[in-house]
Structure 1
Amino acid sequence: MLGYLNKNQIEHLLYSLIIGRLGCHAHNKTYVVPITYAYDGTYIYGHTKEGLKIEMMRKNPEVCFEVDAIENMSNWRSVIAWGKFEELKTPEKREEGMLKLMDVVMPLMTGETTISNPMSDTHQKCIEAMKGVVYRVKLTEKTGRFEKT
């Protein structure tokens, strides 16, 4: 059975995942890239280094965001949302965004390749990570679909 996710199901999927795909368009080019994110009910928060994605979103802040949970080809849920990119530039806004992101991501960073001791110096790791670009996207429109057998 194919169907549409209701508002609560859309929100649940956005809250429950941490990897999504961000689509942006500028310079006659569309770019879709996976990101780690945190969702607070209004914004998705992200952090990255300078690069093509940031360059494009600065040029055209209108973006698309997609997440999906796939059990198999006949059992999946997907949300597509549209919104507006905003770079967090003040120290207070940058810290607020990084703390939201770290609160979601840190509990999952347990392997040696991701972090040596995930629960030590969380605040310090947050400050160190802020060397890149901290941003958020205000989601203004959302839609969701599913298939269930």
Structure 2
Amino acid sequence: MLGKLTTKQCEYILQSNYIGRIGCYTNGKVLVLPVTYVFDGEFIYGRSLEGTKISMMRKNPHVCFQVDNIDGLSSWRSVVVNGKFEELKTEAAQQKARKLFLERLQPLTLGETVDPAREHANPPHTVVKKKKPIIYRIGIDEIAGRFEKQVTL
């Protein structure tokens, strides 16, 4: 059976996951990448090192965000969000996002774009130009979800 998820079900799926995919478009190119995120009930927060994805979202802030719960080929739930990228530039906004990340992801092993306290681990004698993570949020314009559930008779 195929069906649509309610807004409340979509929000639950966003709240209960921490890896999603963000899609951005600029200059005739589409990019879809996995990201670690936190959903606070209003915004989707992300952190990323400056690069192609951030550059694209700065040029065109309209993005798509998608997350799944997959139990099997005929048992899944998927949520798609259309929204707007906003880079957090004030210390207060960044601090709020950092707190959300730490509270939600503390039990997990954290990588360099997620853990604000983690230093980049580099082999000895390696010169690496450190990049500061960009903290951003996605405001939700539209949210929709679909599901498939196998029906046994």
2-structure distance, mates of 1:47, 1:19: 12
Cα distance in structure 2, aligned partners of 1:107 and 1:137 = 24
The 3-state SS of whatever aligns with 1:92 is helix
Structure 1 position 5, deviation (Å): 0.5
Q: Partners in 1 of 2:98 and 2:132 — Cα distance?
A: 11
**Aligned letter for 1:143?**
A
Deviation at 1:17, TM superposition (A): 0.4
Q: Whole-Å Cα distance in 1 between the matches of residues 108 and 117 of structure 2?
A: 19
- Report the Cα offset of residue 128 of structure 1: 5.5
Deviation digits for residues 106-133 of structure 1 (CA, Å, limit 9, x no counterpart): 1122xxxx47xxxxxxxxx535689310
Question: Equivalents in 1 of 2:31, 2:116: separation in Å?
Answer: 27
**Correspondence for 1:15:** 15
Alignment partner, residue 123 of structure 2: none
Q: Which amino acid aligns with 2:32?
A: V
1:63 pairs with 2:53: no
Q: Detail structure 1 runs of 4+ shifted over 6 Å in the superposition.
A: none
Return the letter of the residue paired with 1:139: I
In structure 2, give the amino acid aligned to 1:142. Answer: I
- C-alpha distance after superposition, 1:43-65 (max 9, x if no partner): 00011100000000000000000
Please state if 1:93 is matched with 2:93.
Answer: yes
Alpha carbon RMSD of aligned pairs, Å? Answer: 1.7
Deviates more, 1:138-147 or 1:89-98: 89-98
TM-score (norm 1): 0.86
Structure ranking higher in helix proportion? 1
Aligned to 2:105: 105
Query: Does 2:134 match 1:133?
Result: yes
Greater Cα shift, 92-101 or 56-65 = 92-101
Whole-angstrom distance in 1 between the partners of 2:137 and 2:118: 19
Distance 1:32 1:102 in 2: 25
Structure 1 residue runs without a partner (length 5+): 116-124
Indicate if the aligned counterparts of 2:50 and 2:132 stay in contact, CA closer than 8 A.
no
| Ranges in structure 2 where 5+ consecutive residues have no aligned partner | 120-130
Counterpart Cα distance in 2 of 1:92 and 1:6:
33
